[in-house]
Chain A
Amino acid sequence: MNKIVKNAEEAIRDIKDNATIMLGGFGLCGIPENSIAALVKKGVKGLTCISNNAGVDDFGIGLMLQTRQVKKMISSYVGENEEFERQMLTGELEVELIPQGTLATRCLAAGYGMPAIFTPAGVGTEVAIGKESRKFMVDGVEKEFLMEMAFDADFAIVKAWKGDPHGNLVFRETARNFNPMMAMAGKITIAEVEELVPAGELNPDNIHTPGIYVHRIFQGVNYEKRIEQRTVRKK
């Protein structure tokens, strides 16, 4: 197998206006920086983005908001972005807020071929409005669960630490976050990696995402890996 493409531009070549795309990352940690830059350059519009957060004003998905490329965000937390707030308040940007575990598990369901999941998150809140629910016994007590549907995304774009030509991926530390389950969930999955290694170099025991889920992979360049909240202690 050789799924290697030259760069981000080639990897996202067929992402068109009004596509639904998943983007991995938590805050600015583990986000596909190269692909976001390429999407900004390409100028595709009307995108629905499924991503836990929406970046900051000048980094991450925030860059695609500056250029008004995003029609709708599906996220769990979007707090760190003034342009986002402005577009949301003027109604330019549609926002669907969903619980973080629900977001992750709806990706997982897509990758596992399951149409829906049941979760207690959001029962009794506005998240439950209009949703089917069911009661199940848990530890001898009847408990209500919401039915949440698997995501249906045209593309998933993830960032890994290492990858190989087969598309096998290894993530690093908490930069793993949503990337593995989004990789499994895209109809077409694009992976950008800090280090693209020859087949056979990654230990098969240590693969986080098997290459079957990945359609295109490329060696990323010039990673900034910006820190959102730098917190330290004195030596």
Chain B
Amino acid sequence: MLDKVGIAKRIAKEIKDGYYVNLGIGIPTLVANYIPKGMNVVLQSENGLLGMGPFPFEGEEDSDLINAGKQTITTVAGSAFFDSAMSFGMIRARKVDLTILGAMEVSDDGDIANWKIPGKMVKGMGGAMDLVASAKNIIVAMQHVNKAGESKLLPKCDLPLTGIRCVKKIVTELAVLDVTPEGFRLLERAPGISVEQIKNATRGRLVIEGNIPEMVIE
């Protein structure tokens, strides 16, 4: 089974040289730490920055320089600032190559729910609806099952939707799956996890063809 770092490391392998990438809050933020050295990747922060760098050194925080999670950050060489309309303009126009975000539920036709739990305080969708509606490629980092052991990979989402038919790939603590017209296609197993365990943890349509390899993570 993968921990959060393991999920982040596995997703990092999907990033290609020359990509512009938007990372959501939570596990997706960790992905930045595992982008292979020497690869040219530019991180977009939807509050108005291309070329996001790591957290500042202590004492060098700048209140004008934050990411979409409102954390203090830095820029890297070659970065650019812009306003919020342009930021979502480049997202809507599909200039951003890859969006990585978390989810509470995903359906087997690629719907995603990640912003609202009825009966709980609703904080808002932020930029998530814009991102999922427009992204060329969306990878979701999520837990396969909830704390009660119930599947979060469903035939249909129970929670209010963030976007429809948009998720392309899912990395969970148990597996890597693609979303296809036939449903979730199992690509890889997490270390020590059997196909049977993944089957039991998946309520949506699951396609299993041939031998499913165990994923390789450094």
The yes or no answer to B20 lying at the interface (CB within 8 A) is no
Shortest beta-carbon contacts, A-B, top 5 = A101-B88, A101-B130, A79-B123, A124-B164, A77-B124
Q: Which of B70, B81, B94 has its CB near the most chain A CB atoms (within 10 A)?
A: B70
**Chain B residues within 8 Å of A102, by CB:** 129-130
> In chain A between 130 and 165, which residues have their CB closer than 8 angstroms to a CB of chain B?
139, 161
Provide the residues of chain A in CB contact with B73, threshold 8 Å.
Answer: 231
Tell me, rounded to whole Å, the shortest Cβ–Cβ distance linking B25 to chain A: 11
Known pairs A232-B56, A235-B57; A77 contacts B72 (CB<8 A): no
**Residue ID in chain B nearest A75 by CB atoms:** B124
Q: Which residues of B contact A (CB under 8 A)?
A: 45-49, 54-67, 69-73, 81-85, 87-89, 91-92, 94, 111, 121-130, 133-134, 160-165
Q: Which of B61, B125, B164 has the most CB of A within 10 A?
A: B125
Which of A97, A108, A127, A171 meets B85, CB within 8 Å? Answer: A108
Interface size on A, residues (CB 8 A): 58
Q: Known interface pairs A174-B47, A229-B71. Does A121 touch B130 (Cβ–Cβ under 8 Å)?
A: yes
Note all chain A residues with C-beta closer than 8 A to B55.
231-233
A180 at the interface (CB under 8 A from B): yes
Chain A contacts to B: CB under 8 angstroms:
26-30, 52, 75-79, 85, 88-89, 97, 99-105, 107-108, 119-127, 139, 161, 171-181, 208, 225-235
Between A and B, 29 residue pairs with Cβ closer than 8 Å are A26-B66, A27-B66, A27-B70, A28-B63, A28-B70, A29-B47, A76-B124, A79-B121, A79-B123, A85-B121, A99-B127, A104-B83, A104-B87, A105-B89, A123-B133, A161-B64, A171-B81, A173-B64, A173-B65, A173-B81, A174-B49, A174-B81, A175-B63, A177-B48, A208-B83, A231-B72, A232-B55, A233-B54, A235-B57
A107 CB → nearest B CB, Å: 7
Residue contact A107 to B85, C-beta cutoff 8 Å: yes
Cα distance, A179 to B83, chains bound together (Å): 8
- Contact check, B63 vs A52: say whether CB atoms are below 8 A apart: no
For A85, the closest partner residue in chain B by CB is B121
Q: Tell whether, in the assembled complex, residue B88 and residue A105 are in contact, meaning their CB atoms are under 8 Å apart.
A: yes
Beyond A124-B163, A175-B64, 9 extra complex contacts between A and B, CB < 8 Å: A26-B66, A101-B91, A101-B130, A103-B84, A121-B130, A173-B81, A174-B48, A176-B48, A235-B57
